[in-house]
Amino acid sequence: MSAQTLAEKLIARAARRAAVTPGEIVTCQVDLAMMHDSGGPRRVKPMLERLGAKVWDPEKVVVITDHYLPANDDESQRIIATAREWVRGAGVKRFYDGIGICHVVLPEQGHLKPGMFVVGGDSHSPTGGAFGAYMFGVGATEMVGVLVTGEIWLKVPHTIVVEWDGAFGDGVSAKDVMLFLCGRFGMDGGRYQAVEYAGSAIGRLGMQERMTLANMTAEFGGQAGLVAPDEVTRAYLAAAGVAEIDTATWRTDDGAQLAAHHCFDGAALAPQVAAPHSPANSAPVGAFRGVRVDTAYVGACTGAKLADLRMAARVLRGRRVASGVRLLVAPASLRDQETARAEGTLAALLDAGGKLLPNACGACAGYGELRFGEGEVAISSTARNFKGRMGAASSEVYLASPYTVAAAAVTGRIADPRELL
């Protein structure tokens, strides 16, 4: 058989085929379907009722509440109540209620492993690709299609390899990689194809950093963002209770056909900042040095996992937030928050003046009560700074790594975090 990419192997397995060819349309069997409270039960329940249909396999469904928590108004409470009621009726036992953001909770609870084909009812679903699974986002109606049939169609993607060699410098993270790529290639740089991150600098990253790469493949415009599994993957999954994983099969073969192969030197990457209102408005941090901020936000699946909290803590430990600046910290999962608490990371953030927020999507989704005000200038470790997404249309959100967000919190202005490490 000719050489195949990781994406092609994953899709061929799900399509019950020996091989697939980029461009062809195939029907895939879904191993797992993940939903959250916003695009999940409140939307799929009425549609399933209209169809008079049941979930094809409740064992293959995971529901996680994160968008409308805390539920402080009638509509939010109704949305969360619908999720709780629906999982009971549908027989969905894998229900995680208020313990964190879906993309972080899903692997934490051991639901992902290399080789799987997974759909998620959220655009940041490519996060699962960090584990060598093909995972992508769908809307609520398409999720109903999966829930009823267990299948979904797919146009087999080409593969774009983004290779980073060497090692990233201290104070440079996966977030900087993705802001750089969005700036360099645009938000459609991924062309809705499969983007695979490879190279020695990627191999040195821990799982949560790889999750940030895969996660922001959404902003980069790919359908899926993949990292071939290795010993780092094996160790993370073993701790999550996933025993056997296959690292030999789930990799791109030498000589496989690629749509593009970009190579970069990890050591040459500086911390990046993206100006309002696009992740593609990125440049090295020096270009924005001195921009005054009102708020520093460490949050979201992109930027508030344990690894992210540790980055922020390295800058904040022993320092205080600048006068007039508010630092908000919304750990991406309860487990990450409690690990951070036990090891002293959380104390470093809170002692610096950070305010602890619930383990939910918070200001990133812009669905709840926490929204930035008129003219507010924020620097955020989240993924998107679209106009008005996180608050008022006149609010201005700069995107950066947790290191750079923490540096701005301490100095009151955008600053190079490497000078504070």
Q: In the complex, which residues of this chain contact another protein (CB under 8 A)?
A: 25, 38-39, 47, 50-53, 68, 73, 75-76, 79, 121-123, 125, 136-142, 144-145, 148-149, 153, 155, 186-188, 192, 218, 221, 223, 278, 280, 365-367, 371, 384, 386-389, 393
Minimum distance of another protein from residue 184's CB (angstroms): 15
Query: Least CB distance from residue 357 to another protein, whole Å?
Result: 17
Rank residues 175 and 314 by Cβ distance to another protein and give the closer one: 175
- Closest to another protein by CB, 353 vs 366, is 366
Spell out the residues 6+ positions from residue 367 whose beta carbon is closer than 8 angstroms to its own. 38, 67, 68, 361
| Minimum CB distance to another protein smaller for 164 or for 367 | 367
Q: Give CA–CA dist 172/275, Å, rounded.
A: 18
CB nearer to another protein: pick between 42 and 113:
42
Q: Which is nearer to another protein, 142 or 253 (CB)?
A: 142
Q: Are strands 151-155 and 25-29 parallel, antiparallel or unpaired?
A: antiparallel
Find the shortest distance in angstroms from Cβ 193 to another protein: 9
Q: How far is the CB of 66 from another protein (least distance, A)?
A: 14
In the complex, minimum distance from the CB of residue 358 to another protein, in angstroms, rounded to a whole number: 17
Q: Which is nearer to another protein, 315 or 399 (CB)?
A: 399
State the minimum distance, in angstroms, from the CB of residue 142 to another protein. 5
Sheet holding 61-65, edge to edge: 94-97, 61-65, 32-36, 117-120, 134-137
